[in-house]
Amino acid sequence: MAADETAIVRSELRWSWVVFVTIGVMFAAILFATLAMHDTPPGHNETVDPVTIHVIGEFVEPNLGTTVDAQGGVTTRIVAAQFAFVPQCVVVPQGKPVTFRLTSPDVIHGILVMGTNVNTMVVPGYVSEVHTVFNETGDLLMPCHEFCGIGHSEMLAHVRVVPQSEFHPNAQGKVSCALR
């Protein structure tokens, strides 16, 4: 009987090692994704004052839409508000890394770009950041996917993916649907 109990304790200890190692591997994978691959949740704890986004900072209206910086990095900034996106159409290049930065002045919205892996909540007070590469050209729908009020179903934007040969920033580095 005593021998059996020893065997049981040994078995339990073996399984607890399996559990410890499994948790350790998962924890290491999370740390690796966060620190080495910068693969953090879209909110990544970057805050912004939802009351003043339209008058100060990076989300003022002239700064919205797609901008190419001096290093060639492509960033698309969008404000999701009841019940429209500003701007309602953005242009992005095919086959190049694109960073989406979004925020909301009012309630929680959500976006997805149909047929791609772009999908995030947009929470007032926070900047949601998503990195992606669009492999196909085309006009992709970007609906709000979080119920945000009476006009939720009207909340829709377009992401226009164009070949790099047709992606021409103006003197300010801006590329917009209207300018094309």
Q: Which is nearer to ligand CUA, 152 or 158 (CB)?
A: 152
Q: Minimal distance in Å, beta carbon 111 to ligand CUA?
A: 8
Q: Which is nearer to ligand CUA, 68 or 80 (CB)?
A: 80
Q: Minimal distance in Å, beta carbon 138 to ligand CUA?
A: 23
Q: Which is nearer to ligand CUA, 80 or 159 (CB)?
A: 80
DSSP letters of the chain?
-HHHHHHHHHHHHHHHHHHHHHHHHHHHHHHHHHHTS----TTTT-B--TTTTTTSSTTSGGG-EEEE-TT--EEEEEEEETTEEESSEEEEEBTSEEEEEEE-SSS-EEEE-TTSS-EEEE-TTB-EEEEEEB-S-EEEEEEB-S--STTGGG-EEEEEEE-GGG----TTSEEBTTT-
Summarize as ranges the residues that interact with ligand CUA (CB under 6 A).
80, 109, 144, 146-148, 152, 155
Q: Minimal distance in Å, beta carbon 144 to ligand CUA?
A: 3
Q: Minimal distance in Å, beta carbon 43 to ligand CUA?
A: 17
Q: Which is nearer to ligand CUA, 78 or 80 (CB)?
A: 80
